[in-house]
Amino acid sequence: MPNGRAVAEALQIGDVVGEVAITITEAMVDAYAAAVGDDNPLFMEKDAFGRRIAHPELLPKFAMDGLWLPMFERMPNIRAKQAYTYLEPVRTGMTYRATGCVLDKYEKRGRLFVVFEAIFKDEMGKEVLRDRRTQLVLTEEVTIKS
């Protein structure tokens, strides 16, 4: 496993590590609902404008590859913490843009952690969601036992 410390140490607070644009479709809402076994009518029925509300975790899950995967492939890590802040419902037919950046870095008990945050905005530029995740950077000293 590659040593992620060098990659993490080169990161600066505010560095952009990923960007993505996603248009939420009814097929995505259906696939997510089926995958998690959630058939709540809130996510199945259309609103007065003919759109459906997506499950809150759908948007960050579908954005994961574009936002985080390129960084995480270069910097092996384990998620230590994660928190979502939902500000507005995510609706079908809308395109959302997200930018993921480095929010903080710190060491605790000799281990390096990097805090990333993605801010999701709707077509009007209004913030709808924040995804904050703290990752424990894997180094050669950290081994995973099978």
Whether 41 is in a domain gets the answer no
Assess whether pLDDT exceeds 80 at residue 141. Answer: no
Per-residue pLDDT of 21-63, as tens digits, reads: 999 999 999 999 999 998 888 888 888 888 999 998 999 999 9
pTM assigned to the model = 0.87
Reference 19, options 122, 103, 119; nearest CA is: 119
pLDDT at 142: 53
Does residue 119 lie within any of the structural domains? yes
Residue 32 lies in a domain: no
Residue 81, domain member (yes or no)? yes
Q: Once rounded to an integer, what is the mean pLDDT over residues 112-126?
A: 97
- 49 belongs to a structural domain: no
Confidence of residue 118 (pLDDT cuts 50, 70, 90): very high
- Whether 102 maps to a domain, the answer reads yes
Extended beta strands in the chain, E state: 16-23, 77-86, 95-108, 111-121, 127-137
> Domain of 88: which CATH number?
3.10.129.10
Asked whether residue 44 is assigned to any structural domain, the reply reads: no
For residue 86, give both structure tokens.
């939902």
What's the domain count of the chain?
1
How many Å apart are CA 14 and CA 99, to the nearest integer? 11
In the prediction, which pLDDT does 97 show? Answer: 97
Structure tokens of 129?
């969601």
What is the domain extent for residue 63? Answer: 5-23+56-137
